[in-house]
A = this chain, B = another copy of it.
Amino acid sequence: MVRIALDAMGGDHGVSVVVPAACAYVASNPAVELILVGQEDVIKAAMPTGCKRIRIHHASEVVGMDELPSQALRRKKDSSMRVAIDLVKSGEADACVSAGNTGALMATARFVLKMLPHVDRPAIITALPNTKSHTWMLDLGANVDSSASHLYQFAVMGVEQVAALDGNTSPTVGLLNIGEEEIKGNEQVKKAHELLSGSDLNYVGYVEGDNIYDGSVDLVVADGFVGNVALKASEGVAKMISHYLKAGFKQSLFSKMAALLAMPILKSFGKRIDPRSYNGANLLGLNGIVIKSHGGADELSFGNAIKIADKAVHTDIPRRIEKKVEAHLLPGSEA
């Protein structure tokens, strides 16, 4: 039985999304037990009757979406987020999922669970749709000013994540760069390129922003500042396109009729690139499984984050990453 702790109070919608998503997940996954962490009375009020294999673990406090990570860490020791992570630490849960404040989740998880041996920094990884299937990308915002050896380590951890979750044992790896400079990119990227070129990873070289979505590589490696901006810019473009599509189909009676006919196609297309199907980012490098859901996640979307946690438990990601990192230490790294 896989046991996953859910931060029931986290995200923009709290229990109104987490509780129904949990009930739906256990209903279709008989080998999973979920622990709803948060204010007992609030959770109970949101709980439909007949949910099986779900129990409530009371936690009195809630971390706000804009709360400073250091304050959440110091002052809110009985928050739903903290207690969900504590359950992973104590072994009562195999993984946890939170839609709360990313900074607080990262800081708390790092403090409670610690990093794996030899891992310098955690990194956030997720899958994004591409024209063929999907592309994995990290780091999505855990780090800024990543050094060459950090980027190298992100690649090592990312490769293991792809191997574990997709069964693709030698995924192609690209390093995110720009094509405009004479000797491309900045110093860190150039040095990371050398490290990766000399490794046994299936490194294919530099990729540019558009290659995230064209299926050129299985895994894209970037500094967290760059990766986060790329991700958010992509979300922005997709929203803008959807805005103009909707506006176009509402313009006239004719276009409204066309919309009726086009709707099934647009819907199936939307499903294909629906960010909700890609919700659930793994915080790699921690000694435990922590999945970050998008703050604005709805029920379907949060369910996907639970699925990612479930898969991560089955494939024992942290142990696999520990071994992979140990086998890929750079000369000069501590033994």
Binding site for B on A (CB under 8 A): 68-70, 102-103, 106-107, 129-131, 141-142, 144-145, 176, 178-182, 185-187, 208-214, 222, 224-226, 228-241, 243-245, 247-249, 251, 255, 257-259, 261-262, 264-266, 268-269, 272-273
Contact = CB atoms under 8 A, between A and B. Distances in A.
B181 A103 contact: yes
Nearest to A106: B180
A255 B265 contact: yes
A118 B248 CA distance: 47
Contact of A180 (B141, B249, B269): B141
A245 B266 CA distance: 7
Contacts of A107: 182
A273 B241 contact: yes
B234 A186 contact: no
A255 B179 CA distance: 39
A241 B242 CA distance: 10
- Identical copies of this chain, number: 2
B233 A248 contact: no
A180 B240 contact: no
25 contacts: A141-B178, A141-B181, A144-B185, A178-B224, A186-B225, A209-B228, A209-B233, A209-B234, A213-B236, A214-B236, A214-B239, A214-B240, A226-B229, A229-B229, A230-B233, A233-B233, A234-B236, A241-B241, A245-B269, A248-B268, A257-B261, A258-B264, A259-B265, A261-B261, A261-B262
A212 B208 CA distance: 19
Contacts of A269: 244-245, 247-248
Contacts of A244: 131, 269, 272-273
Contacts of A228: 178-180, 208-209
B239 A210 contact: yes
A257 B257 CA distance: 13
Given A129-B240, A212-B236, A238-B241, A225 B141 contact: no
**Which 5 residue pairs of A and B lie closest in terms of their CB atoms, listed nearest first?**
A209-B232, A210-B236, A209-B233, A141-B180, A213-B236
A66 to B, nearest CB: 10
B237 A213 contact: yes
A240 B275 CA distance: 13
A187 B273 CA distance: 35
A178 B240 contact: no
Contact of A131 (B68, B235, B243): B243
Contact of A229 (B209, B258, B264): B209
Contacts of A257: 261
Given A69-B182, A234-B209, A239-B214, A262 B258 contact: yes
